[in-house]
Structure 1
Amino acid sequence: MPLGTLDRTPPPFFRQGPSALTRVVFFSALALFLMVADRRLVVVEPLRAVIATVLHPIQQALLVPVQALSTGGEYLQGLAAARASEAEARRLMADKAERLSRLEMLEQENARLREMLELRAAVPARTQAAEVLYDRPDPYTRKVVIDRGLTQGIVRGSPVIDHTGVIGQVTRVYPLTSEVTLLVDKDAVIPVLNTRTQVRGVAYGDPLRGGLELRFMPTNADVREGDELATSGVDGVYPPGLPVATVTRVERRADSSFARITLEPVGQLASARHVLVVEPVGLSLPPPPEPEPEPAATRRGARSR
């Protein structure tokens, strides 16, 4: 029988279903719908929390070899470093003892002055230690994941600091983990205070340069290279006085009403492993007083008018 007369159409049992183009169009539309729904309606947030909870034991298991290798290398190389650190710690301890004695005197004087001026005492901020598990795989964001979540009392918006300064803020909370947006992320914003001039401003993340930018400052603003910026505490989130960044460059252009101010973050954003999660200041403040009811005579007079 000639080969051209054979029927090359596969029987119904071996047919593959929809065409490749149909599947591409369907899954593209589904992906677009999920992105819009997650961005606008936050419908995928519960599913993301469930997936994060289910994958948490697997992530912990996969991190064990990495942590073991890192810990082993630190153990083999740590003896000399430990001795040098001990000598440095003894020297710093002597310096700190002198500074501590002066600090206690200043605290007592500050308390007396606050009593004289009837100022409110600073609100104590509760903190919780956490460990950075891994960086987010998204190349367009600067975020890390820590090993504390809803079960440990972490709330969304909590500042995150290390031993040098602020590194970011909790933006997503899962049952066992939390996502921290670093200060250099494109969506990061933090109110700051120039410790030299006491002028407040707002710093924005600049991921292209790996730093921050102090925006909307007039060209004649008193800002110099080397100025240190700390949290202002006026937003009800960050406690005041936490180190944030240092001014590295100030550009004043004649064609713009605002100066271009580049900042270098103080915190160890790329290498921080152990951090502190600070409770937002607004949660520690007392509730606002309820308005007092108006007297009955005042209400009757208002009705008569």
Structure 2
Amino acid sequence: MTTLFIRTISLRFRLTLALLLAFLLIVLDHQLNVMQSTRVVLNSIVSPVQYLATVPEQTFDRLSENLQSRRSMRAYIAELETDMLDMKAQMQRYQLLLRENERLRNLLASESLQDSLRMVAEVIAVDSNSFSHQVVINKGTAHGAFIGQPVLDDQGVVGQVVSVGLTSARILLISDQNHAIPTRSERNGIRVVVQGTGNMEQLELMHVPHTSDLVEGDLLLSSGLGGVFPEGYPVAQITSIVRDESLPFAEVYASPVAQLDRLRMLLLLWRADDERQPVFTPLRDALNAQPSDAVEDTND
């Protein structure tokens, strides 16, 4: 006999039972972490699907990045080629000016600029005395350093060596009140003495007449008259001029070209014809890891 009506569990009861089981699983997983292994298995199963779903997007991003990189590289190469042509043209002009300068010096019976030898040194200490602007470098008599030796950075004149040890030397900066350097204006050749003021950002020009043809912005170069610094290195740039007729001289101040407050790598100079020459020991230079410690012949 076939029954026409079959009693089944109601949907409300099924929903209630499912909610109770879900709540029980949540509590057990939170307290006993019983579902951890199950989550690991499910994540392992789902991971390939997730990876496949992201493949098209990653492929498109890589193609787009490669196209952009190729386009940027082509633009960069074109820019480099243009810069190279420009530099070649400037080099031709430089060679012409160099030959013309040599002819003019010969006509004026002037002494030619001397070649110089250079050695890179690293600042290892800074004088903590606020009234003295000095730094210590890692080159000394063992490297050929000597008292009175000129010191530069990548911008201009920094100072000179005032004391030396076997493997270190002390540099007096041009901003120190006890330091003075003879200079000349790049624009018109006027010679002035630049003295430190105790301020690393300000130097003072000494005994400048009120009628002197100096203007703000003039670049001052080492004149070579003091016998310490070679001629032609940037020293300072004039920042202010006060011509007060009640004073015997004009008040002229300049800012040093070298970055005296952030010195790290410096250059020691030797004249090529000087008896004192730089001394290099390959083993020590290798240990110091200074690949740029090499002698360079340059026409100053």
Query: Could you tell me which residue of structure 1 aligns to residue 171 of structure 2?
Result: 180
Amino acid at match of 1:176: T
How has the CA–CA distance of structure 1 residues 146 and 87 changed in structure 2, closer, same or farther, with 3 Å as cutoff?
Answer: farther
Number of the residue aligned with 2:243: 252
Find the counterpart in structure 2 of residue 225 from structure 1.
Answer: 216
- Runs of 5+ consecutive residues of structure 1 not aligned to the other structure: 1-85, 286-305
Distance 1:248 1:115, change over 3 A: closer
Secondary structure at 1:279 match in 2 = strand
Bigger relative contact order (CA 8 A; separation at least 6): 2
Taking only the aligned residue pairs, the percentage that are identical comes to 33
Match of residue 159 from structure 1: 150
TM alignment of 1:109-120, pairs within 5 A: 109-120=100-111
SS class of match (1:138) = coil
- In structure 1, the partner of 2:124 is 133
Q: Does 1:235 align with 2:240?
A: no
User: Which residue, out of 142, 145, 150, partners 2:141?
Assistant: 150
Q: C-alpha root-mean-square deviation of aligned residues, in Å? A: 2.7
TM-score (normalised: structure 1): 0.60
Equivalent residues of 1:185, 1:205 under 8 A apart:
yes
In 2, the alpha carbon distance for the partners of 1:92 and 1:144 equals 38
- The TM-score, its normalising length taken from structure 2, stands at 0.61
Larger radius of gyration: 2
Q: Distance in 2 between matches of 1:88 and 1:142?
A: 43
The offset of 1:194, in angstroms, is 0.9
Deviation at 1:210, TM superposition (A): 3.3
TM-aligned CA distance change 1:91 to 1:226, over 3 Å: farther
> What do residues 105-131 of structure 1 show as CA deviations (whole Å, max 9, x unaligned)?
222233344445554322112221111
- Aligned match of 2:162: 171
Structure 2: segments with no counterpart, 5+ residues: 1-76, 277-300
Rounded to whole Å, the distance in 1 between the matches of 2:120 and 2:84 is 23
Distance 1:149 1:118 in 2: 37
Question: How many residues were matched structurally?
Answer: 201
Q: Secondary structure at the match of 2:247?
A: coil
How far residue 215 of structure 1 moved from its aligned partner, in angstroms, is: 1.1
